[in-house]
Amino acid sequence: MMRIRLFGEAELVDDERGRTPLSVLGTKPRQLLEILALGAGRVHGKEHLADLLWQGRPPAAATAGLESYVSVVRSRLGLGAGRGSVLATADNGYVLDRARCEVDVVTVRELHDESRLGSLSGALSAGERVDALARGELLGHEGYAPWAIEAREELEGLVARTLARGAQGALALGLPERALPLAERATALDPGDEDGWRQLMRAQWFDGAPTQALRSYSRLRAHLIEELGQEPSDETTEVYLAVLSHTSQAGAGGDHTVEIRLLLQLMRQALEGTPGARPPALDDDLSHVACRVLARG
């Protein structure tokens, strides 16, 4: 069995031949294989491949160039020849045989679908597998090639959503310690996706760190206001209020220094986003300004 990795250092892993970095192929042959791997199992016409490889400006000898690159890939990676090759000729184009070659990107797509349709334990399993597979930047060595940028944008969203669903599954199963790393990575990949933050807040709360959950809400709120000019959704705010209420009840009579600092920070953020309100420089005066705003309402 062969496996192609496109996350991190691009390489072919062959059960018989070991690991081969795709860099040994040279630029165009490597890019050709990567494009075919992104769409493994689908036939790619020669005209379409040429358009991607030469970014919409293929040379007159593009077809001959493609055939030469395919030959290089097959020979250097031991993929066989013609229609019997792992990189097979088909319908005036080429296809990477999924039955004989797994691709990490394709597996991530499948796990994303499983996380949506399966059980809670299935979502957790899918999330943890994706977390292990999608390590390192996807096709980072290809820079600003349009087809590579498109793949990165697609997979970044898929990975983040699969991780968030995995965290949700772990929480439902009473496993916050397994939810936490998945949710942390989901929010790092897509800091604007509130679902990932909700799972992170719950994981921190249920794992015994409610103050961290409050801090996560503050970070999300700051990001949304700065990037989109909007507040967190009601659903996210409900999680925050639940954590805050629990923290207040659980810590009655204890030291609330950290919580107070967080609340002051959140109050300042709220006033900064309120028309006509001018937050003071000193925290001592924040409550007076907040009371005036409330009196206006």
Determine how β-strand 93-96 pairs with β-strand 87-89.
antiparallel
Q: Does residue 247 fall inside a structural domain?
A: yes
User: The domain containing residue 190 runs over which residues?
Assistant: 104-254
Q: Which of 82, 99, 116 finishes a domain?
A: 99
Residues 121 and 236 in one domain: yes
Determine how β-strand 101-103 pairs with β-strand 2-5.
parallel
**32 neighbors 73 (Cβ within 8 angstroms):** yes
Q: Does residue 177 fall inside a structural domain?
A: yes
Residues 66 and 208 in one domain: no
Q: How far apart are the first and last CA of the chain?
A: 68
DSSP state of 233: P
Residues 128 and 236 in one domain: yes
Q: How many structural domains are present in the chain?
A: 2
In terms of pTM, does the model score above 0.85?
A: no
Residues 64 and 189 in one domain: no
In order along its 297 residues, the chain shows pLDDT tens digits of 899 999 999 999 998 889 999 999 999 999 999 999 999 999 999 999 999 999 999 999 999 999 999 999 999 999 998 889 999 999 889 999 999 999 999 999 999 999 999 899 999 999 999 999 999 999 999 999 999 999 999 999 999 999 999 999 999 999 999 999 999 999 999 999 999 999 999 999 999 999 999 999 999 999 999 999 999 999 999 999 999 888 766 554 454 555 555 555 565 565 565 566 566 655 555 555 545 555 565
Give the list of residues 6+ apart from residue 95 with CB closer than 8 angstroms, or none: 36, 40, 41, 42, 43, 44, 87, 88
